[in-house]
Chain A
Amino acid sequence: AQTVTQSQPEMSVQEAETVTLSCTYDTSENNYYLFWYKQPPSRQMILVIRQEAYKQQNATENRFSVNFQKAAKSFSLKISDSQLGDTAMYFCAFTTRNNAGNMLTFGGGTRLMVKP
């Protein structure tokens, strides 16, 4: 069974600073995708960034980037120049073709507070 672990239940960062959220996963599959989803207080789930396991280059989306360490099964999210609007729950998630209907396995989440 695949598992996803987020070891930081809560984090805080000052506005404009950089913060890194950790995620580890466990799988025996070689072909899979990893995601970070953001859930602001509105409760809407928003895709932040995704990474294909076969790609060695780390994915980036504007201020968001990942550090994908396949051998270590680690997938951390770095948020640069943090903004107040980044305050949210962040979920790391994983999927592989052998998952039920391409469904997602989620970590427990990290609550991020950006302080002014």
Chain B
Amino acid sequence: NAGVTQTPKFQVLKTGQSMTLQCAQDMNHEYMSWYRQDPGMGLRLIHYSVGAGITDQGEVPNGYNVSRSTTEDFPLRLLSAAPSQTSVYFCASSYSYLGTEAFFGQGTRLTVV
């Protein structure tokens, strides 16, 4: 059972480049989400999805796009990378009932130069 698989683990981008962070889960979870982690600020929600074909913005959505064509996959796209997007990114998934445990990928450390 792979859980939540997130790739790549590390990435360096130049300002203005675009890229996609991949996330896949094999637990048939309805909910998937993307967070970014910055020092002293914990994890902040970027975008989330409550099911295939349904996505919405979180707390810090600017500069990021998502789509969810299948239950398993939830990629995060950086359209035009900026130094302010240097961060560690986490994908998470969970069932829909309140209080359920969220399962996280191993994170992607992204540096934008």
Contacts and interface: CB of A to CB of B under 8 A. Distances in A.
A71 interface: no
B42 A95 contact: no
B82 interface: no
Given A91-B42, A91-B43, A101 B102 contact: no
A52 B99 CA distance: 7
Nearest to A109: B42
B106 A44 contact: yes
Contact of B102 (A9, A44, A104, A107): A104
B100 A102 contact: yes
Contacts of A93: 43
B87 to A, nearest CB: 12
B56 A100 contact: yes
B58 A103 contact: yes
Interface in B54-105: 56, 58, 88, 90, 92, 94, 96-102, 104
A36 to B, nearest CB: 12
Given A33-B99, A101-B49, A102-B31, A107 B56 contact: no
B42 A101 contact: no
Interface of A: 4, 6, 9, 31-33, 42-45, 47, 50, 52, 91, 93, 95-97, 100-109
21 contacts: A32-B98, A43-B109, A44-B106, A45-B90, A47-B102, A50-B99, A91-B43, A93-B43, A95-B99, A100-B45, A100-B48, A101-B49, A102-B94, A103-B31, A103-B33, A103-B48, A104-B43, A105-B45, A106-B44, A108-B40, A108-B42
Interface of B: 31, 33, 35, 40-45, 48-50, 56, 58, 88, 90, 92, 94, 96-102, 104, 106-107, 109
